Structure 1
Amino acid sequence: MDRVWLFYAIQVAASGYAIFRGGAPERLTGLALLLAAGSTGLIQQNIPVLFAGLEVGVMLVDLILLAVMIVITLKADRFWPAWVTALHGLGTGAHLARALSPDVIRLVYAVLSAAWSYPIVLLLVIGTVRHSRRIRAHGWDLDWSRQDPTIR
């Protein structure tokens, strides 16, 4: 259980950094990841044996986060959200694998659905650092595609 609290600490730090130092895509992603992690934690408190069956509540949270990330990826003037969306899609796909084949080993299901969380948080931090550097270098950074650079 210590690794779960360690992940929460890392997620809070990364999301806080993105919310305070990032542009709109970083702030929205940081908030979405924070809400998804918190929701998943609350949902899993009521499950006596984790990943023994299809985690419907966690799957719903993951599907909502996937939809949010797809919208951010399509609208943002950044490349890193595409990687976040792809990695989260892999994690969300673990629920599909479990739904199609209940014989999927419990540990495999757990690892496949959660392992992508760490690189996703790292990508959020990298995206925020790069945004901050562009702001320092140019004085502005487009948040969304087709945005007029003279409007800040």
Structure 2
Amino acid sequence: MAIAILFWAMMLLCCGYGALFGGRDGLLIAIIYMVAVLLTVVGQLIQQSWAGVNWPVLLVDFGLLCGLYAVSMRSNRYWPLWITGFHLITMTTHLAALVAPSFAARVYFGMATLWAIPKLLVIVVGVTLDRRAGISDHEFNTA
């Protein structure tokens, strides 16, 4: 339970920071990420078993990947690509569960959730580095 509380606190802080100081990309990614986390909770209530593919969570993760990819392709910043890449690793975990149905449930759950913290850290580090470099949305939207 303590881990869940820490995750929610970290998610709110990191996404809040990204939304407030990350410009358009930070705001979009924060919204997409928080919606995906809420939908993942719903997905885990729908299918609680990780013995085999967890389809509701896979669908939420696929939607998150599409959203992150869309922001990354329109962004001139690098950090959205990193968060998208980390989430792509999460998607390969679902693929592994599809290909190998005997994939251990604990390993599947662990690998599917492992990259949540690095993704949140990418938001904070990326936005911070952009701010240190003095980069604003206005500089990026000149093209």
Same fold (TM over 0.5): yes
Is residue 51–residue 110 contact of structure 1 (8 Å, CA) maintained in 2? yes
The residue identity in structure 2 corresponding to 1:36 is A
Task: Return the alpha-carbon distance in structure 2 between the equivalents of residues 102 and 5 of structure 1.
Answer: 31
The residue identity in structure 1 corresponding to 2:89 is L
2:136 aligned counterpart, secondary structure? coil
* CA-CA distance at 1:134 after TM superposition: 3.6
Provide the TM-score with structure 2 as the length reference.
0.90
Task: Return the alpha-carbon distance in structure 1 between the equivalents of residues 56 and 122 of structure 2.
Answer: 25
The residue identity in structure 2 corresponding to 1:148 is T
Q: What's 2:136 paired with?
A: 141
* CA-CA distance at 1:143 after TM superposition: 6.5
* CA-CA distance at 1:120 after TM superposition: 0.4
* CA-CA distance at 1:69 after TM superposition: 1.0
RMSD: 1.9
Task: Return the alpha-carbon distance in structure 1 between the equivalents of residues 49 and 94 of structure 2.
Answer: 13
* CA-CA distance at 1:28 after TM superposition: 0.7
Task: Return the alpha-carbon distance in structure 2 between the equivalents of residues 143 and 109 of structure 1.
Answer: 42
Equivalent residue pairs, number: 143
Provide the TM-score with structure 1 as the length reference.
0.85
Tell me which stretches of 4 or more aligned residues in structure 1 moved more than 2 Å. Answer: 130-135, 142-145
Task: Return the alpha-carbon distance in structure 1 between the equivalents of residues 49 and 9 of structure 2.
Answer: 21
Deviation digits for residues 78-116 of structure 1, max 9, x if unmatched? 111111111100101111110111011111111111101
The residue identity in structure 2 corresponding to 1:100 is V
Task: Return the alpha-carbon distance in structure 1 between the equivalents of residues 70 and 82 of structure 2.
Answer: 13
